[in-house]
Amino acid sequence: MGAAAVEERDRMGSQQQVDVVVLGVGSAGEVVAGELARAGRSVLAVESDLVGGECPYYACVPSKSLLLSAAAGLPWEEAVRRRDEHAEHRDDAGAAQGLQEQGVRLLRGRGEVLGRDGDALQVAVGGGDARQVLTCHDLVVATGSDAVLPPVEGLDQVATWTSADALAAQELPARLVVLGGGPVGCELAQAFARLGRPHGATVALVETADRLLATEAAFVGEAVAAALRADGVDVRVGVTAQRARVDDAAGGSVLELDDGSSLVADRVLVATGRRPRTAGLGLERVGVELTDRGAVAVDDRWQAAPGVWAIGDVTGVAPYTHTANAAARAVAASLRGVEPEPSTRVDVPAVPRGVYTDPAVLAVGPSPEQARTQGRELVSAAMDLAGTARGFLTGKGGRVEIWADPVERVVVAAAAVGPDVDAWMHELVLAVHARVPLEVLAGTVHAFPTWSEALEPPLRELLAACR
């Protein structure tokens, strides 16, 4: 416990009443606590680990740092040095101070909801002599998510990493096997493959679905698989790890796959998904319901029960830092009592999904499979990025595909894989969010020779198809 937190506890005594308690100070909690404190509310933020949560220390920031270093051809040692610098050496002193400077009172410890007392909600923090009981009018649950270990027999007996372990590791495994071909698995497989190649290190990736990034349009995962294979990754799709065991002869672990093959690993990096962190929080005591996936069920204002709000990964809704931040601003607006306005509402179907491999991926709106499940009849048009002037000049390629609703005559979804798509595809994120008419989109002139020019032919094709 830091000195500031000890001071806070001593000053508060064992009972304290505030307007708002924020449980968990990651991407979501940090923003909502700061916004409300700056608006004059008394806010107590409870954090059991690092102020800032996963993103700056164990997730987005260190993973992007490694990927950028790998793309720049930096050696492993330099990449690790930069990663740790970008991740503030996993020291949250600056973040804690920043929060307190905004007027948020920070309490270190694990929080648990006790129940209601009339209109008030009660939260306990810590145990024994240090136990605090907080009473508040509103509670914001922002406790994030945990990595899930898949049910592979013997996996708990071999040397595994979660993504957080991998992103804090100083050593480079000679043989790394990544389980899971979602965004985290793909990003880390590429980073470790590129950084490990000069050391003779190998990376294999195992994915149960028949392609990588299986929730996106098929071309996206196929392009990323090709890129990973070009980086030397042994990509295996449509197979599942069944058993793991230590094998002295192999000098590591052996993973047996259900196609009869096996892989030898010095480390198994488990990237098979995350589970909302709701266990043991006492949420049922205040009437919070969980979805069948264990997430806090919220309405479109992120409210879970009277006086209880939930934001970030714990809701299971579009689990990205940008959603967490946007939901935090929305809840802060609700609690400040400002008139709800469109800018404070999170348009979940228009939240972009990025994967920061090389080539990168950016997608928005339902995938073709999701659209089919929703019974939506969409028309689509695509463009090969190699066909643009920028593609000709750089020798690079990729693909963008856009889906429109022929009745509404608006773009409802788009996906792209290729150079810098995370930068130039936001035009279509805006189009989906604002329901910009196809006429307007198709009539937009893009500068020559940018990647954005790739949007023009498919948009004109969609306009013609939707007349």
Q: How far is CA 335 from CA 23, 107, 113, 140, 143, in A?
A: 16, 21, 19, 10, 19
Residue 126 sits in the site that holds ligand FAD (CB under 6 A): no
**What residues numbered 326-365 form the site for ligand FAD, per CB under 6 A?**
356
> Between vectors from CA 28 to CA 25 and to CA 32, what angle results, nearest 5°?
85
234-237 and 360-364 as β-strands: parallel, antiparallel, unpaired?
Answer: unpaired
User: Pattern of binders to ligand FAD over 129-168, x per CB under 6 A?
Assistant: -------------xxx------------------x-----
CB closer to ligand FAD out of 253 and 321: 321
**What residues numbered 384-403 form the site for ligand FAD, per CB under 6 A?**
none
Residue 319 sits in the site that holds ligand FAD (CB under 6 A): yes
CB closer to ligand FAD out of 46 and 225: 46
Chain residue at closest Cβ approach to ligand FAD = 26
CB closer to ligand FAD out of 279 and 464: 279
Phi first, then psi, for residue 200 (nearest 5°) are 75, 15
Residue 60 sits in the site that holds ligand FAD (CB under 6 A): yes
**Which one of 321, 367, 380, 452 is in contact with ligand FAD (CB under 6 A)?**
321
Return the range that interacts with ligand FAD (CB under 6 A); candidates 57-65, 73-81, 376-384, 421-429: 57-65
Q: Residue 26: which of 160, 173, 141 has the closest Cα?
A: 141
Q: What is the dihedral of CA 423, 95, 327, 110, to 10 degrees?
A: 140
**Residue 462 near residue 411, CB atoms below 8 Å:** yes
Residue 59 sits in the site that holds ligand FAD (CB under 6 A): yes
Return the range that interacts with ligand FAD (CB under 6 A); candidates 20-28, 251-259, 283-291, 402-410: 20-28
The minimum distance between CB 148 and ligand FAD, in angstroms, equals 11
Q: Residue 313: which of 275, 352, 348 has the closest Cα?
A: 275
**Which one of 21, 44, 63, 104 is in contact with ligand FAD (CB under 6 A)?**
63
**Residue 111 near residue 238, CB atoms below 8 Å:** no
Residue 324 sits in the site that holds ligand FAD (CB under 6 A): yes
Give me the DSSP letters along 423-466.
HHTHHHHHHHHHT-BHHHHHT----TT-GGGGGHHHHHHHHHHT
Cis bond before residue 359 (omega within 30° of 0): yes
The minimum distance between CB 163 and ligand FAD, in angstroms, equals 4
Q: How far apart are alpha carbons 82 and 62 in whole angstroms?
A: 9
CB closer to ligand FAD out of 46 and 462: 46
**Residue 91 near residue 58, CB atoms below 8 Å:** no
Task: With H, G, I as helix, E, B as strand and everything else as coil, classify residue 25.
Answer: coil
The minimum distance between CB 336 and ligand FAD, in angstroms, equals 20
The minimum distance between CB 111 and ligand FAD, in angstroms, equals 4
Residue 176 sits in the site that holds ligand FAD (CB under 6 A): no
Burial (CB count within 10 angstroms: exposed 0-12, middle 13-18, buried 19+), residue 237: middle
Q: What is the residue type of 227?
A: A
Total residues interacting with ligand FAD, rule: CB under 6 A: 37
**Which one of 192, 219, 309, 320 is in contact with ligand FAD (CB under 6 A)?**
320
Residue 110 sits in the site that holds ligand FAD (CB under 6 A): yes
**Residue 82 near residue 65, CB atoms below 8 Å:** yes
Return the range that interacts with ligand FAD (CB under 6 A); candidates 1-9, 27-35, 251-259, 395-403: 27-35
CB closer to ligand FAD out of 166 and 217: 166
**What residues numbered 236-295 form the site for ligand FAD, per CB under 6 A?**
277, 281
Give me the DSSP letters along 340-406.
P-GGGS--GGG--EEE-SSSEEEEES--HHHHHHTT---EEEEEEGGGSHHHHHHT---EEEEEEET
**Residue 14 near residue 123, CB atoms below 8 Å:** no
The minimum distance between CB 317 and ligand FAD, in angstroms, equals 10
**Residue 225 near residue 235, CB atoms below 8 Å:** yes
Residues engaged in binding ligand FAD (CB under 6 A):
23-29, 46-50, 53-55, 59-60, 63-64, 110-111, 142-144, 163, 184, 277, 281, 312-314, 319-322, 324, 356
